[in-house]
Amino acid sequence: MPLVNTKEMFEKAYKGGYAIGAFNVNNMEIVQAITEAAGSLNAPVILQVSSGARKYANSRYLIHMVKAACENFPDLPIALHLDHGDSFELCKACIDDGFTSVMIDYSGHPYEENVEVTKKVCEYAHDVKARGRYITVEAELGTLAGVEDDVKVEFGKSSYTDPEQVQDFVTRTGVDSLAIAIGTSHGAYKFKAEQCTRNKDGILVPPALRLDILEEVSRRLPGFPIVLHGSSSVPQEYVKIINEHGGKMPDAIGIPEDQLREAAKRSVCKINIDSDLRLGMTAAIRKHFDEHPDHFDPRQYLKDGRDYVRETVKHKIVAVLGCDNKA
Ligand code: G3H
Ligand code: 13P
Ligand code: ZN
CATH number where 295 lies: 3.20.20.70
Q: Residue 273: CB within 6 Å of ligand 2?
A: yes
Ligand nearest to the CA of 81: 2
Q: Is residue 248 part of a domain?
A: no
* Stated pTM of the model: 0.96
Residue 292 CB neighbours (<10 A): 12
Question: CA 75 → CA 8, 48, 68, 70, 100, distances in Å?
Answer: 15, 19, 13, 8, 17
Decide: 1 and 172 in contact? Cβ < 8 Å: no
> What pLDDT was estimated at residue 200?
87
- How confident is the model at residue 23, as a pLDDT? 99
272 CA from centroid of ligand 2 (Å): 5
Residue 243 belongs to a domain:
no
pLDDT in tens, the chain (327 residues): 999 999 999 999 999 999 999 999 999 999 999 999 999 999 999 999 999 999 999 999 999 999 999 999 999 999 999 999 999 999 999 999 999 999 999 999 999 999 999 999 999 999 999 999 999 999 999 988 765 556 556 656 678 999 999 999 999 999 999 999 999 999 999 988 888 888 887 778 899 999 999 999 999 999 999 999 999 999 999 999 999 999 999 889 999 999 999 999 999 999 999 999 999 999 999 999 999 999 999 999 999 999 999 999 999 999 999 999 999
- Residue 69 in any domain: the answer is yes
Pocket test for ligand 2, best of 232, 253, 281 (most atoms within 8 A of CB): 232
List 75, 83, 86, 162, catalytic entry:
83
Assigned domain for 194 exists: no
Instruction: Report pLDDT digits (tens) over 257-281.
Output: 999 999 999 999 999 999 999 999 9
Model pLDDT, residue 147 = 53
State how far the Cα of 101 lies from the Cα of 114, in Å rounded to an integer. Answer: 18
251 tagged catalytic: no
Ligand 3 geometric centre to CA of 157 (Å): 16
Domain-located, residue 192: no
Ligand closest to Cα of 152 equals 1
Q: Which ligand lies nearest the alpha carbon of 49? A: 1
Residues with CB under 6 A from ligand 1: 24, 50, 52-53, 83-84, 148-151, 186, 229, 274
Residue 295 lies in a domain: yes
> What domain count does the chain have?
1
Asked whether residue 27 is assigned to any structural domain, the reply reads yes
pLDDT of residue 157: 62
Residue 145 is part of which domain span?
7-186+209-233+255-321
Burial 164-194 (b: 16+ CB within 10 A, else e): ebbeebbeebebbbbbbbbbbbbbbbbbeee
From the list 324, 321, 232, 231, the residue with the least C-alpha distance to 281 is 232
24 C-beta closer than 6 A to ligand 2: yes
Let me know if residue 107 belongs to a domain.
yes
Q: What tens digit of pLDDT does each residue of 58-92 get?
A: 999 999 999 999 999 999 999 999 999 999 999 99
Q: What is the 3-state secondary structure (H, E, C) of the chain?
A: CCCCCCHHHHHHHHHHCCCEEEEECCCHHHHHHHHHHHHHCCCCEEEEECHHHHHHHCHHHHHHHHHHHHHHCCCCCEEEEEEEECCHHHHHHHHHHCCCEEEECCCCCCHHHHHHHHHHHHHHHCCHHHHCCCCEEEEEECECEEECCCCEECCCCCECCCHHHHHHHHHHHCCCEEEECCCCEECCECCCHHHCEECCCCCEECCCCCHHHHHHHHHHCCCCCEEECCCCCCCHHHHHHHHHCCCCCCCCECCCHHHHHHHHHCCEEEEEECHHHHHHHHHHHHHHHHHCCCCCCHHHHHHHHHHHHHHHHHHHHHHHHCCCCCC
Task: Give the pLDDT confidence score for residue 204 in this predicted structure.
Answer: 82
Give the CA distances from residue 310 to residues 23, 93, 169, in Å, rounded to whole numbers and listed in that order: 11, 30, 37
* CA of 293 relative to ligand 1 center, distance in Å: 31
